[in-house]
Structure formats: C-alpha cells, structure tokens
Amino acid sequence: MGKFFVDKERCMTTVFIGSDHAGFEYKATVLRFLQDKGFKVTDCGPAAKERCDYPDFSSLVCKELQKDPKALGVLICGSGIGMSISANKHKGVRCGLAHDYFTAINSRAEGCNCIALGERVIGIEVAKQIINSFLTCLLYTSDAADDLLCVDLGGRRIIKKK
C-alpha cells in the first residue's frame, strides 16, 4: 500500500437536494441542517408537499450533478428506492441507497456522488447523520493508485482496493 493523499477532486461542498411528496418534510429539515453547517445547498424541489412523481425531482438533481461534477446530491422519498433507481439512469450519476452510517460512508468510498434515503424508513436524526457522513468524509487515494482510503471526521477508516 502506498502513501495516501487527500483526493481534493472528491471532497465537495456544493449540494443539490430533491424529494417527492413522501420525502418533503425531511427535505426541509435537512436543507436547514446543511445550511447551518455551511454547505451551499440548492433545493431542486418540490416547493410543496402535494403529490408528485419522484423521477421528476430526481432528474432535476441529476441534471445539476451532470453540470457540476464536483457537487453532491441528496434525494429523499418514502423508501429511497425509487429515487436511487431513477438517479442511476442518468449518465455520470452514481446514487447509493443509504439507511445507516455504514452505507453512507461506503457509498462515498464506492464513488457515489449522490445518496438516497427514505423518510418512511429512518428517523430524522439518523437521516442527518447519514447525510453529514456522506458529505464530510475525506477521501484519499494512494500514490500507488491501487487503494482508496475513506476517513470520516471521527477518524474511522475504510480502505478499498481499486
């Protein structure tokens, strides 16, 4: 294993967030949470909790990610499954479905630039932990270019072979 250095291209701070009606309440809470933490966050909708189709808002987030490859996306629906499937149909978007800290960090280590979660599946505090972990973990690559090291702000490490 080689010497590791911070992969600055993969340490991003611009966030695009979207939901459907089933994820609307969490989206509003997460939006404020991320703004309070200093992230530049763009709300891609919806603007109200009225019934809507998740692919419409998943597509809006994905189009922004395609324009800004250094940005990250957050998608929230009832289960997270529909949003993740919809997002993964877009070229250049790799969306992981997360339901805990471990899946959030591993999504980043596996190269995801977007994360999906379900308002009906997890509590809001877990949702905040998942999103914060996904957005703030530091990614390192080795000078040997054969390993990826993902370190969260608590110092926990995950090493993946490329």
- The answer to whether residue 95 is catalytic is no
| 113/82 Cα distance (integer angstroms) | 17
My answer on whether omega of the bond before 69 falls inside 30° of 0, hence cis, is no
Question: Among 11, 52, 62, 77, which one carries the catalytic annotation?
Answer: 77
10 Å Cβ neighbour count for 97?
A: 21
* H, E, C per residue of 101-128: HHHHHHHHHCCCCEEEEECCCCCHHHHH
What contacts 24+ positions apart, CB below 8 Å, involve 42-46?
Answer: 42/14, 42/15, 42/16, 42/17, 43/17, 43/18, 44/16, 44/17, 44/18, 45/18, 45/19, 46/18, 46/19, 46/20, 46/21
Q: Which residues does the annotation mark as catalytic?
A: 77
